[in-house]
């Protein structure tokens, strides 16, 4: 087919405006055919684009903005040019291998942070932004520290999730020569990378979420398929967090809130998004209604530590540890197992199990359940759980259990004496009945018990309103038991029976 000539195209150029006269166009049949073909192609492209936009949101086709700061130790065995050349090589390699998933850049670590990065110091986002304000525009900041060692070069990479304002776990490896450094850094970044999902819909026991940049991944059968760190898979574990913006749309230092004691597990993906089940210490940790100023997000975590130390503290006085509290675990069969008791520091070490990243823990003190603590063991070295200090309630419970034990013993003795008194009256052994009644009256009464209980109650008070309410309930239950089983009516009834028997005996003798 012959391409249109300059003369063929001139009438079209002269009459592009909507008001141009149709009769002024003089287009050849060959040009008309080309225009129809072109128009059909445009319609087809617009149709495909419309379908793709409807199937994926902007969030799902937005690449992660990732930057890596590279800090190379100053050493005689390290070439001086590495500080400048390694970031350039890393950037080129990452762009080639990862494609559009990351909007990636690599630079030498800022001079103000260079030494601290090599030492492993983790700055807050606000501290980093003072020297490098552009860090706020990132999704992830990767920090790579390179040092020579006896076996070659040690590479350590840390990740700061800028939106969550949290550092994730650290990964490292050793390579034999400098030619492997770029591949090592890129591998660690990909292994460490934490994809983010946005919670789109909240149900009673699960949520639906969409993943950032998931629309940029290539099918596995594609020639340009990338092994991407942005992929979310069933079974992945997520930690949720909330971003709250002010009226100007700015998320300040206080605008980030981790959803405490809540973990999510990724399920299968459907037309709505990824279905994620969650375990939480709260009845409903998520906001069912959407708000333009509030984002509910979650990031994938990969626990790497061998254990996590759980530390229990008083929620009113965080400096006071909760000692001797029992920690149980509920397994998939709903069976509970005692993991141990907190030590004098209020701590208990829990070992990570690779096949069970999520552990659902329960804390008890005596007979009282204090909290449900779902957690990802191995994600953090130490987690602190502020709980109500139940020690005073437990002391009250122990005292009242002793009171109830004494009450049971006393009631038994009263019943035995009452039975003997009735038998003595029936046998006309009135002197014996009188002696037994005297013995019955010498036993502790309801007033005696109530006085001791009230005196002890005055010394058992808590500054925590919830704990004090439970203490008051325990004492109220005990007072009810005293009134039910130590009634004076029993003694008065036996005394009246003895008087009647004595009077009857006297009249008979007369």
Helix axes 465-485, 391-426, angle to 10 degrees: 0
Which pLDDT does position 25 carry in this prediction? Answer: 34
Interatomic CA distance for residues 63 and 94, integer angstroms: 14
Higher pLDDT pick, 339 / 459: 339
C-alpha to C-alpha distance for 260 and 283, rounded to whole angstroms: 12
Residues 331-345 have a mean pLDDT of 88
HEC string for 141-154: EEEEEEEEECCEEE
pTM: 0.71
Query: How far is residue 62's CA from residue 83's CA, in Å, rounded to a whole number?
Result: 31
Residue 500, number of CB atoms within 10 A of its CB: 11
Collapsing DSSP states into helix, strand and coil, what is residue 206? strand
Q: How many CB atoms lie within 10 A of CB 271?
A: 6
pLDDT tens readout for residues 111-139: 999 999 999 888 889 899 888 999 999 99
Q: With residue 338 as reference, give the H or E element that holds it.
A: strand 336-341
211-268 residue pLDDT tens: 998 888 776 666 555 556 778 889 999 999 999 998 888 888 789 999 999 999 999 9
In this structure, the number of other CB atoms found within 10 A of the CB of residue 436 comes to: 23
How does pLDDT run across 430-450, given as a tens digit for each residue? 888 888 888 888 888 888 888
The predicted-structure confidence for 171-185, as pLDDT tens digits, reads as follows 999 999 889 999 999
Q: What CA–CA distance (Å, rounded) separates 145 from 72? A: 6
Contacts for 56-59: CB closer than 8 Å, 24+ residues apart: 56/214, 56/215, 57/210, 59/198, 59/210, 59/212
Judge whether 372 and 447 are in contact, CB under 8 Å: no
DSSP state of 291: B
Mean pLDDT for the stretch of residues 280-294? 87
Question: What is the structure's pLDDT at 360?
Answer: 93
What is the rounded average pLDDT for all residues in the chain?
Answer: 84
Could you tell me which residues are beta bridge partners of residue 206?
277
* Torsion angle (degrees, nearest 10) of CA 495, 498, 500, 501: 180
- Assign domain 307-389 to its CATH superfamily: Carboxypeptidase-like, regulatory domain (2.60.40.1120)
CATH code reported for the domain at 60-192: 3.40.50
**pLDDT value of position 361:** 95
**CA distances (Å), 94 to each of 101, 146, 226, 270, 446, in order?**
10, 18, 11, 31, 82
Query: pLDDT at residue 167 above 80?
Result: yes
Contacts (Cβ under 8 Å, ≥6 apart) of 462: 389, 392, 393, 468, 471
Average pLDDT over residues 366-381: 91
43-57, 137-151, 249-263, 270-284 — which one is most confidently predicted on average?
137-151
């Amino acid at each position: 087919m012959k391409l249109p000539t300059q003369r063929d195209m001139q009438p079209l150029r002269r009459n592009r405006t909507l008001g141009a006269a149709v009769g002024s166009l003089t287009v050849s049949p060959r040009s008309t055919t080309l225009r129809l073909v072109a128009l059909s192609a445009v319609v087809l492209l617009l149709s495909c684009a419309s379908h793709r936009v409807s199937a994926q949101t902007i969030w799902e086709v937005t690449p992660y903005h990732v930057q890596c700061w590279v800090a190379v130790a100053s050493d005689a065995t390290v070439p001086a040019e590495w500080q400048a050349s390694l970031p350039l090589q890393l950037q080129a390699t990452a762009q080639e291998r990862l494609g559009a998933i990351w909007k990636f850049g690599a630079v030498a670590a800022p001079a103000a942070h260079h030494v601290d990065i090599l030492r492993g110091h983790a700055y807050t986002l606000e501290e980093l932004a003072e020297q490098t304000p552009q860090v706020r525009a990132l999704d992830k900041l990767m920090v790579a520290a390179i040092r020579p060692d006896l076996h070659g070069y040690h590479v350590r990479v840390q990740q700061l999730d800028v939106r969550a304002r949290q550092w994730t776990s650290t990964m490292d490896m050793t390579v034999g020569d400098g030619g492997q450094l770029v591949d090592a850094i890129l591998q660690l970044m990909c292994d460490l990378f934490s994809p983010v999902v946005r919670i789109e819909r909240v149900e009673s026991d699960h949520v639906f979420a969409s993943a950032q940049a998931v629309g940029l991944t290539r099918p596995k059968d594609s020639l340009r398929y990338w092994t991407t760190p942005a992929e979310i898979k069933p079974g992945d574990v997520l930690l949720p967090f909330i971003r709250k913006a002010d009226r100007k749309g700015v998320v300040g230092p206080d605008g980030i809130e981790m959803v405490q004691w809540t973990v999510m597990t990724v399920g299968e993906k459907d037309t709505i998004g990824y279905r994620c089940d969650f375990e939480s210490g709260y009845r409903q940790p998520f906001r069912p209604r959407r708000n333009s100023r509030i984002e509910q997000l979650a990031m994938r975590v990969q626990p790497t530590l061998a254990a996590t130390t759980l530390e229990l503290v008083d929620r009113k006085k965080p400096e006071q540890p909760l000692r001797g509290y029992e920690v149980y675990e509920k397994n998939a069969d709903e069976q509970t197992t005692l993991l141990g008791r907190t030590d004098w520091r209020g701590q208990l070490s829990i070992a990570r199990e690779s096949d069970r990243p999520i552990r659902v823990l329960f804390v008890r003190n005596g007979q009282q359940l204090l909290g449900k603590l779902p957690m990802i063991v191995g994600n953090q070295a130490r987690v602190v759980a502020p709980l109500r200090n139940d020690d005073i309630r437990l002391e009250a419970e122990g005292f009242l259990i002793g009171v109830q034990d004494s009450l049971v013993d006393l009631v038994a003795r009263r019943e035995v004496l009452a039975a003997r008194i009735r038998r003595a009256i029936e046998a006309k052994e009135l002197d014996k009945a009188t002696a037994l009644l005297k013995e019955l009256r010498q036993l502790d009464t309801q007033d005696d018990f109530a006085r001791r209980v009230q005196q002890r109650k005055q010394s058992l008070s808590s500054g925590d309103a919830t704990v004090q309410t439970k203490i008051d309930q325990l004492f109220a239950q005990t007072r009810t038991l005293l009134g039910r089983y130590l009634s004076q009516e029993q003694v008065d009834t036996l005394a009246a029976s003895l008087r009647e028997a004595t009077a009857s005996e006297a009249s008979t003798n007369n």
